[in-house]
A = this chain, B = another copy of it.
Amino acid sequence: MSIEDSLPDAVRRESHTYSLQKGEVLFSQGSPTVGVYEVLSGRVRLARTNHTGHYALLYVAQAGDPLAEASVFTRAYHCEAAAVTPAVVRLYPKAALLTEFERDASFAKGYALMLAHQLMTARSRVERLSMRFARDRVRHYLVLNTNEDGCFIELPGTLKELARELGLTHEVLYRTLAQMTRDGEIERTGHRIRLLQTK
């Protein structure tokens, strides 16, 4: 599901990594597209500036996230990318991607499928963030992130990171998890959470 998985060796071989200092601009709005990036570490923000100078944040990509997936098909970047923290990114050059795309329909399918998955993920985050109560957001996240068995959730990072993902302060997340534990809705062992039947 990550961008990396959907890329053939031919493309991977031509990729390069770049290190960015905090604040450094990776590409700017209107500049010609050179390819798709993947964030390896740190955070990179995408933002757009209006004709009238109004600014809006579009996306903050973290380790593992792809960046500028549309740029394969367009001439110029529609937004600016800049590092929020020191960051390392990998560039998959447009030419290699386009060649593969034309040459191999199964690569094209894989790329489209990857985009469709990213889209579904993003949409479910939208639904989650539309929920008013912290508890509902936490439940939603847990249900969509259980293991095969449907019971256990392995938290990928820190609880602070999860709080950010859920659009909550970390304090509220701690309290909510504590309350859910007290209520017998979940059980916690370190960074592993077990989702119990509520009925």
CB-defined contacts of A95 to chain B, threshold 8 Å:
none
Q: Smallest CB–CB gap between A141 and chain B, Å?
A: 9
Which of A7-15, A18-26, A49-57, A175-183 has 4 or more CB atoms under 8 Å from chain B? A49-57
**Alpha-carbon distance A140/B57, docked complex (angstroms):** 8
Q: How many residues of A contact B (CB 8 A)?
A: 53
A197: CB under 8 A from chain B?
yes
Which residues from chain B contact A55 at a C-beta distance below 8 Å? 143
Report whether A51 and B149 are in contact in the complex, using a CB–CB cutoff of 8 Å: yes
- Bound CA–CA A143/B113 (angstroms): 30
Chain B residues closer than 8 Å to A144, beta-carbon distance? 48, 56, 58
Closest CB in chain B relative to A11 CB, distance in Å = 15
* Structural contact, B111 and A101, CB atoms closer than 8 A: no
Name the distance in Å between A130's Cβ and chain B's nearest Cβ.
5
| Pairs A–B under 8 Å by Cβ, sample size 12 | A48-B143, A53-B197, A54-B142, A54-B150, A58-B120, A69-B119, A72-B112, A74-B113, A101-B108, A119-B122, A122-B126, A130-B167
